[in-house]
């Protein structure tokens, strides 16, 4: 997605350790006009799938997910990283983040996932993909179907993309695929 790649080149900052800082337009300060264009692109890429619900994970996935839910007029569920006191029965899965070097539980109320649901997962970054595998586990526990996953930015030099694309019957779409990140230099894969 050219608009997004141009914005990453203009406003993103490549930090040591393969981290891309995008906190002035995606995950701290947010640009809603860009976010709308991102959601329109997700609509285009997933239009042929019979999705009835969108799932994401707090915090940074919520903005693109709600924008997409608005366009498709579908409910959006965000998976929580801390167990709320008021939550009754829930599905729980453990995630180890290599990026953040910590292990945490993610949870979602049993009320909001059912075997009839065809789900699309949306998130801001795909790195090693462990958050995505945690979501897949929650969806499988509920008996729902996870049909696709859409990411704003994929770091294709990490393993997540390869691991997720090996899953059967799963559409994976990333709007900007980053081949390499050196300090002050971002290079994209040619095809997206």
Using CB under 6 A, list all residues that contact ligand G4P: 19-22, 27, 57, 59-60, 97-100, 124-131, 155, 160
CA angle 19, 66, 145 (to 5 degrees): 90
| N- to C-terminal Cα separation, the chain | 6
Tell which residue, 127, 125, 55, 66, has the closest CA to residue 93. Answer: 55
Q: Which is nearer to ligand G4P, 90 or 126 (CB)?
A: 126
The number of beta carbons lying within 10 Å of the beta carbon of residue 50 is: 7
Shortest approach of ligand G4P to residue 186 CB, angstroms? Answer: 10
Q: Which is nearer to ligand G4P, 27 or 118 (CB)?
A: 27
Shortest approach of ligand G4P to residue 50 CB, angstroms? Answer: 26
Q: Rounded CA gap, 177 and 181, in Å? A: 11
Q: Which is nearer to ligand G4P, 22 or 113 (CB)?
A: 22
Shortest approach of ligand G4P to residue 116 CB, angstroms? Answer: 27
Q: Which is nearer to ligand G4P, 80 or 171 (CB)?
A: 80
Q: Which is nearer to ligand G4P, 52 or 128 (CB)?
A: 128
Shortest approach of ligand G4P to residue 104 CB, angstroms? Answer: 8
3-state SS record for 116-158 = CCEEEEEEEEECCCHHHHHHHHHHHHHCCEEEEEEEEEEECCC
Q: Rounded CA gap, 32 and 110, in Å? A: 31
Alpha helices in the chain (DSSP H): 2-11, 32-46, 62-72, 130-142, 160-165
Q: Which is nearer to ligand G4P, 56 or 147 (CB)?
A: 56
Shortest approach of ligand G4P to residue 95 CB, angstroms? Answer: 7
Shortest approach of ligand G4P to residue 94 CB, angstroms? Answer: 12
């Amino acid at each position: 997605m050219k608009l997004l790649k141009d914005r990453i080149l203009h406003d993103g900052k490549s930090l040591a350790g393969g981290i891309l800082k995008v906190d002035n337009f995606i995950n701290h300060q947010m640009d809603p006009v860009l976010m709308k264009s991102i959601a329109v692109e997700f609509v285009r890429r997933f239009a042929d799938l019979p999705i009835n619900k969108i799932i994401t994970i707090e915090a940074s996935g919520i903005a693109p997910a709600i924008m997409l839910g608005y366009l498709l007029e579908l409910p959006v569920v965000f998976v929580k990283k801390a167990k709320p006191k008021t939550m009754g029965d829930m599905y729980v899965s453990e995630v180890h983040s290599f990026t953040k070097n910590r292990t945490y539980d993610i949870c979602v109320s049993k009320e909001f996932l059912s075997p009839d649901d065809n789900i699309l997962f949306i998130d801001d970054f795909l790195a090693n993909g462990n958050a995505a595998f945690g979501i897949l586990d929650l969806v499988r526990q509920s008996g729902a179907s996870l049909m696709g996953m859409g990411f704003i930015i994929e770091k294709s030099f990490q393993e997540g993309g390869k691991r997720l694309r090996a899953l059967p019957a799963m559409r994976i779409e990333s709007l900007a695929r980053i081949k390499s990140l050196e300090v002050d230099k971002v290079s994209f894969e040619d095809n997206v």
